[in-house]
Amino acid sequence: MLRIRLWQVIVVVLICAASILFAVPNLFNKDSLGDSYPDWLPSQQVNLGLDLQGGSHLLLEVQIENVLIERIDALVDDARSALRGERIGYTSLKRRGLTVVFQLTNLENLEAAHEVLFDLDRELQIQSSDDGAFELSLTESAITARKISALGQSIEIIRRRIDETGVAEPTIQRQGEDRILVQLPGLDDPERLKRLLGKTAKMSFHLVDQTVTDADLARGRLPPGTMKLPADDEVDNAGNPRYYPIRKRVMVSGDSLVDSQPTFQDNQAVVNFRFDTSGAKKFGRVTQENVGRPFAIVLDGKVISAPVIREAILGGSGVISGNFNTQSARDLALLLRAGALPAPMKILEERTVGPDLGADSIDAGKIASLIGLAAVIVFMLLYYGLFGIVADIALILNLVIILGLLSVLQATLTLPGIAGIVLTIGMAVDANVLIFERIREEVKGGRSPFSAMEAGYKRAFTTIFDSNLTTLIAAFILYIFGSGPVQGFAVTLGIGIVTSMFTAMLVSRYILVWWLKRTRPKTLPL
């Protein structure tokens, strides 16, 4: 254990030097770092979590039932088309809750209707009675799969939207079956972000039903396959929202969008959009076949605009115009780029953490760390003398390496993370204590200083390795199964365990071996 090669010393020195370089930027304020710190040196700093930096905490609920209702509504149209295609007569085809019901007009078609509906969707449960009454519903496995898919897709879309706004190190986690936790440290405009997250941003293109008169629209007399939707920002002469008779059939879906950007047209803020190859073909075909008809752009159940198709649009791109300002056009483009949420979101809980509270937490963490560090340093110095000084050097270097690693990994430091660092301060000297006590025992047994030190390091290694390994396993389990603050604690604890092993078994050993070979004492000051 006392034979040290030159390359080993070089590696340890380089690791320590690199850690110091990566830890130093944390001593500067972010605003002054660019002016006072050389560009060629590392400049990454540890990210502060919500509880330290301040920001917004949101608990969102995914309205998953809307996904199921949309699927059932689509099933109504599919069943209507399938039954008509096979010339099977029916009445009262409609959605009732999460089921589709209808009545056959001819009982001789009972078996044929079963076959047609079975081929329509293999995830359907088909129930019928002898009088020709049918009830269609999704299977339990299909409902569960759609719920899981909706929640996962919602998390991904929320992540894209937040990334587009430039918020650093957001925390986005699933909670339960239908909830999502969002923590946004350092957020400057929480209201804008709530608006972005609260919008489904489901865009589709529909034809306007020109057979419906204004009187029929006012009375709600709409033919099958037509729905009444309000305009987003248009009002009639009485100041009431204007409504459009919109065909339910989606001619082109917003899922085919590949890009959207805010721009200006005739000094008015608009949004340019572009389809993928498949969407461009559909858009071109629809506009080519419906020249002269109004074509409605629907976003989240409201008609953004319904321009008349003047000519075929074959380029796969278009413009959304309306009463946009620069910010609203930018937000709409962001929403369309990020994609539509599969279901609306409801904000269940909202908390705003002020930066003053975070500053108080940082100050409290600093004080706790300094008190713990000072107490450990004094104890080791008084109890072990020269060896205690070496252990204290290793302890300080251990904290520097932890800070450097957190900066390199761009980890987010939270209050539990600070607790993990404070705990590491006490644990970091454990290895040195075990080694020093073992060396004492060897000296009492009559060994020479060289022999006692070599035996102390060799025989203490197994105990140190086992104890740290078990703690590291616990930290790993906390990280895997924990969330948020628990993971922050596990990260700093795990890093502290590894760095304390490094500083105790290598740094302090190299220093003591160098001192031993240089001075060759007859007795060890322990």
Residue 348 lies inside a defined structural domain of this protein: no
Model-wide pTM > 0.75: no
Per-residue model confidence as pLDDT tens digits over 432-490: 888 888 888 888 888 888 888 888 888 888 888 888 899 899 999 988 887 667 888 88
Domain of residue 433: give its range.
6-54+354-519
CA atoms within 13 A on the CB side of 348: 11
Residue 50: inside a domain = yes
Average pLDDT score over the chain? 83
Q: What is the pLDDT of residues 33-56, one digit of tens each?
A: 555 666 666 777 787 776 677 777
User: Do 367 and 474 share a structural domain?
Assistant: yes
The answer to whether residues 433 and 389 belong to one domain is yes
Q: What does the pLDDT look like over 243-254, one tens digit per residue?
A: 999 998 888 887
The 3-state DSSP composition of the chain as helix, strand, coil percent (nearest 5) reads 55, 20, 20
At residue 208, the pLDDT reads 92
Among 143, 165, 189, the domain-final residue is 143
Say which CATH number the domain at 80 has: 3.30.1240.20
Residues 40 and 90 in one domain: no
Task: Tell me, yes or no, whether 243 lies in a domain.
Answer: yes
Q: List, as one string, the DSSP characters of 67-91.
A: HHHHHHHHHHHHHHHHHHHTT--EE
Report residue 250 as tokens.
């989606």
If 0-12 CB within 10 Å is exposed, 13-18 middle and 19+ buried, where does residue 505 land?
A: buried
Q: Are residues 416 and 314 in the same domain?
A: no
User: Which residues are CB-contacts of 420 (< 8 A; sequence separation ≥ 6)?
Assistant: 488, 489, 490, 491, 492, 493, 496
Task: Say which residue the tokens 């205690």 belong to.
Answer: 388
Establish if 454 belongs to a structural domain.
yes
Q: Do 306 and 418 have their domain in common?
A: no
Decide if 181 is inside a domain: no
Domain count across the chain? 3
Domain presence at residue 401 = yes
14 in a domain, yes or no? yes
Q: Are 270 and 319 in contact (CB under 8 A)?
A: yes
Domain's final residue, options 300, 321, 342: 321
Q: Is residue 225 within 8 Å of 248, Cβ to Cβ?
A: yes
Q: In what order do the strands lie in the sheet with 317-324?
A: 257-265, 268-275, 317-324
Same domain, 126 and 249: no
Q: Are residues 247 and 377 in the same domain?
A: no
Does one domain contain both 214 and 294?
Answer: yes
Domain membership of residue 115 (yes or no) is yes
How far from chain centre, in Å, is Cα 71?
27
76 and 224 fall within a common domain: no
Query: How far apart (Å, rounded) are the C-alpha atoms in residues 180 and 500?
Result: 37
**Do residue 274 and residue 413 come from a single domain?**
no
* CA dihedral sign, ordered 473, 420, 398, 429: negative
